Structure 1
């Protein structure tokens, strides 16, 4: 079923512009002029994803605020007052948007871009992936209209720019396209070079850790990769990144373990081994310290409980 914005199903709200009710997957594409503004003092019951393709937008979430230009993905979690519109002084804001219940696995990809209070600002994303991200949104718009029979429709130019996925199959198919958006943007933005001034050898060592956190890295092996003595390497790495190489390795292993718990059915013991931990008890202690819950409960409850 295709709906226009003025017939979009809405949830009750005390004031401001209502949001779609939870459980729906709604996707659309807007090109709005100056003056366009949405305010939701109570937030929404669903997550909001926006991907800017042109112009400039401005989004507020709780006490945080961010601008959005071409290639920026901004995600707003439920339950927090928010508002968004064309940035003052901009000629327009051209953007894709989607309201839905986010899949639990997405949180680990978005976590590095948490700007506070449930706002995630994923930037910068390389120009090389922009076309594929937009293609994923176009596919999401088409898939949301799928009836579950034959193939999903192919959109023709000028078709209604808003769609609601009503059937279970259409919802899941549309969410698969949105998951591609999250992976493409968070995965590529995460690999951008660190802040200016960080030594290239430190960047290479961090990249080695991030690429394979389960590998048996040591200060000595990492130092050898970047042609430094172990003592010089440890001093330089800690001084520039604010944490020791082994602390950085532990954090990378825990992030990797959390992602495995969210996305696979591997036992806790196998997750521990696949993440580079020597023993399950050591892994359990480290994981509880980092995430506030043991691995088994993290998998059962999910990292997005209540959303």
Structure 2
């Protein structure tokens, strides 16, 4: 099962397209292809064998192939086929690729193929028309709709993780962030985090900060405070319970850190949120 909880990865989303296209063929032989961003290829018609990272998978009509950046892959078919494919990057608020944090396997069955295909054709129409109004907004919206279909298929299959054979060096940090996200309630030290990725604490701090602009412990603090903010908005839990859920010593420490981060105490934020939530604009 995936180490990243389904409600943790948040926007805003940065979507960058490099290609959107339809490919039809009588036979297919792509060998050791490599791209700087994700290749997301939906098999509308045909049967394909794909290999990458020493693994081989059979892909049928209605399945999606996901090829990670900078990892050579091959695709073979001796029969006719049609692929709806994209070369794209999708980053979330954690400055990581969406598919790094959601460790979706290389092949996913799409639950509602007709709806996916219709959404793709809408996206392709926008891609092929540079002058269309609000093009970037339409492209981003369309891509997120398509990814919802992919993630729904993954969830329906039980959210199995792709193997480490598909990992890049940056994926190691994605796994670390995933571990942090499900252990917010635990007392984690620098040494604990470094052990998760088999690095020394000092080296991890330097390498992690080069990628994200903050150390793992600083990111862990931000994640805990974001989780506390969610609980203040979505539950009636006491401050002591929220502090415990977020790995903080007690309510007093939570209040101190929350005030430092957001400029108000947790109780003040909860009351302000309730007032806004219950406000009737047209009442």
TM-score, L = length of structure 1: 0.46
TM-score, L = length of structure 2: 0.49
